Amino acid sequence: MANTIIKGEVTRELEGRIDLMVRSLIDLPRSKLTAMFDHGCVTLNKRPCSNPATRVGVGDRVTVTYDPHQGYSVKKRPWSDRSFTIIHEDDQILVVNKAAGVLTVPTNKEEPNTLLERVSSYLSRKKKNHEAYLIHRLDRGMSGIMVFGKTPQAARHLRTQFDKDQAKRIVLAIVNGAMEADSGTLESRLDTHNNLSRYSTLEQGKGQHAVTHFKVTKRMVDATAVELELVTARRHQARVQLFESGHHVLGDTRYRKENFEHERWDKKRLAMHGMQLTFVHPETGREVSYQSELPISMRKFIRGGKKLE
């Protein structure tokens, strides 16, 4: 059956959004109008128009070509979320890149839009009430790679690896000043103050054993880029150990010298990014490794920093 073609010219009364112009030509609900744009039924001045919010002015020509017997439906939009991007997904796991400033899970203040909540919302689009299973965490101020389980069995398998520090975690940080050694190991026992800040303790029987290997990747006049391997994964581990060695992470308002701010780092985030995660896949039993590119702010800082001679 032949398509129906309806044409119209925008008048002063119909200036504005093109979907309102289309609605004046075809009396349809808004959802059906959106579907028309999704299926390429609308042209503006003989050019395809897929955005219902496109602005039109007096004299613009709008054409709608459609099959009146076809039930046009809105196409499913690709997932878009400021809190994370997807690196890998299969039936068992979801690997994402967390944005800086996003809480992994709610605190006792019950904050909304945590990463766990947003990832669960994404999974629920495919299967109703499908929840994400938390495996590990990243500090709110840092960005980087994380893995979630999609089934209880996968989650148990992954948690066992992470709880036993069998997963390999690589983090890139930018710290103030010039680190003395090119590589080495930071090792301490971490305890917790009443205000939840962490610190290294020498008191017998106190604290959690924490080990971080480090390797300097670039020395700048006023800062150092350093790659960190978290052999253990204690809360705030690398931040505390770097701070106590005299080189706090840029942007860290909790562990830093009083009132110290780096003139080239004014971002409201930690200069810290989880860039690699390696673990055994819960279904295949094979080791898998995923990488995440440094955020633009960190790349620009490192690229723009004058190299220390």
Whose tokens are 């009083």? That residue is 258
Q: Taking residues 188-210, what's their average pLDDT?
A: 90
Is residue 266's pLDDT more than 90? Answer: no
Half-sphere exposure of 302 (CA within 13 A, CB side): 20
- Three-class SS state of 2: coil
Of 182, 166, 174, the C-alpha closest to 277 is 166
| pLDDT value of position 33 | 81
Q: Are residues 58 and 159 in the same domain?
A: no
Q: Are residues 289 and 169 in the same domain?
A: yes
Sign of torsion over alpha carbons 236, 242, 244, 246: negative
Look at residue 131 and tell me if it is in a domain.
no
Domain range for 209 is 84-89+153-304
For 247-257, the pLDDT digits (tens) are 999 999 899 86
| pLDDT value of position 235 | 93
Q: Are residues 59 and 158 in the same domain?
A: no
Look at residue 167 and tell me if it is in a domain.
yes
Q: Number of structural domains, the chain?
A: 2
Q: Is 45 left (phi over 0), alpha (psi -120 to 50) or beta?
A: left
Give percent above pLDDT 90 in the chain: 66
Please indicate whether residue 265 or residue 287 has the higher confidence score (pLDDT): 287
Q: Are residues 47 and 175 in the same domain?
A: no
Residue 309: other Cβ atoms inside 10 A: 5
Q: Are residues 295 and 178 in the same domain?
A: yes
Provide the b/e sequence for 218-255 (b: ≥16 CB within 10 Å).
ebbeebbbbbbbbbebbebbbbbbbbebebbbbbbebb
- CATH code, domain with 12: 3.10.290.10
pTM of the model: 0.75
Look at residue 204 and tell me if it is in a domain.
yes
Look at residue 136 and tell me if it is in a domain.
no
| pLDDT value of position 195 | 83
| pLDDT value of position 29 | 77
For 108-151, the pLDDT digits (tens) are 776 778 999 999 999 988 777 688 999 999 999 999 999 999 99
Q: Are residues 54 and 158 in the same domain?
A: no
- CATH code, domain with 281: 3.30.2350.10
